[in-house]
Structure 1
Amino acid sequence: MLSDRIASYLMRRFRGRKLDIAPQLSAMAVLTNLAQKGLVPLIRGTFVKIWLAEARGSFFLGKGCKILNKSMLKIGNNVYIGNYGYLDCLSVDGVTIGNSVTIREGCWVQLTSHYDKPGEGITIGNNVYIGPRSILGAAAQITIGDRCQLGANVSLIAENHAFSGEGDIFEQGVVRKGICIERDVWIGNNVTVLDGVTVGEGSVLGAGTVLTRSVPARSVVVGVPGRVIKTR
């Protein structure tokens, strides 16, 4: 059918992957959905990407999405940022997003809170999915490797308040170490990863985990605080 061919072409052209349609869905319904989700965001992204530091291909930008300091954002091909996202890219190294990255609706990305202590930067690899309402607070460097999947409401917080002295916490400043999520990591819904943590390659963080320390490759982690229950 013509609608099958059109839908398949659009997926290959703009999202870089083959489209297989389940028999329960009509090709026309899929084509309509692709148009609703992709056409207007593509037009919007095509206009916005002329202001970016680097843009190497298709850029889909949802409605109500606000990007501050666009000149510090670099994106690869087939990048999708959902509706009502907020990205403040002001930082030392800016924000770099690889190819075929999806950042879903309501994301919040903040690098710098104080101009005298700018944030470092964020690097997101290729083929990464970041779920709705996720938070990336990158006062220190945040790195997300290739082929990672982050669920909804995930928080990566690369900063911690100092509180060891006798004075007010408000006056003691912060500690910054950074967060590294290595490749092929799956992070479930409502997970929080705190500053100074490295998540080893191929690991799984179960839903609701609060990870306060690094875990080795292929770990399966659950709980508050997160603990390794087995190795994949």
Structure 2
Amino acid sequence: MGFIAILLGNMLHKWGKLRELLVERYLNHYYSQKMGKMGKGVRILKRSRITGLDKIVIEDNVTIADNVFIRGEGGLYIGPNCHFSRNVVIYTHNHNYEGAALPYDNTFRYRKVTIEKNVWVGINVTILPGAHIK
């Protein structure tokens, strides 16, 4: 009975890994169809969330790890060979705190974020609108 339990456990583990790979491939295909540009060798892991896809350009060989949150409505450029560790947050817009209502109204201020080639963004980093990282 112990051998069967181990065998079954191994099969379920492999099925879980296969399922994760299929989800990752589906999401990468979806993103490549909707994005302004998505280069070759880009990997976006399954637990990441990206909005404003049509205003995002990602060059070749970029990895975006788990649980990355990107709001790309203000424009985002990611150069080649960049790596984003988990829990990274990128915002390309912010509330309009100079509007009529205080502390802010329902309008936004958009500012493009540019991340040049060969940048590694470490765990838990937040990138704000208008940032330019070399």
TM over 0.5: yes
Structure 2 residues not aligned, in runs of 5+? 1-12
Give structure 1 stretches of 5+ with no counterpart.
Answer: 1-31, 46-59, 76-88, 112-118, 201-232
**Higher relative helix content:** 2
1:139 Cα shift?
A: 1.3
Matched with 1:74 is: 32
Match of 1:206? none
Runs (4+) of structure 1 moved beyond 4 Å? 35-42
Residue 123 of structure 2 aligns to a residue in which SS? coil
Give the C-alpha shift of residue 147 in structure 1: 0.2
> What is the percent sequence identity of the aligned residues?
23
CA distance in 2, matches of 1:40, 1:169: 42
**CA distance 1:158–1:37, change in 2 (3 Å):** same
Query: 2:40 matched to 1:99?
Result: yes
Q: Is the 8 A contact 1:120 1:140 kept in 2?
A: no
Please give the TM-score of this superposition, normalised by the length of structure 2.
Answer: 0.74
Measured after TM superposition, the shift of residue 142 of structure 1 is 0.5
Is the CA contact (8 Å cut-off) linking 1:143 and 1:180 kept in structure 2?
yes
Distance 1:191 1:169, change over 3 A: same
Structure with the bigger RCO (C-alpha within 8 Å, sep 6+) is: 2
Count of aligned residue pairs for this structure pair = 121
CA contact 2:36–2:54 (8 Å) conserved in 1: no
User: Residues 49-80 of structure 1: CA distance to partner in whole angstroms, max 9, x if unpaired?
Assistant: xxxxxxxxxxx23xxx5x9xx5xx536xxxxx
Say what the alpha-carbon RMSD is for the aligned residues.
Answer: 2.9
Secondary structure of 2:32's aligned partner: strand
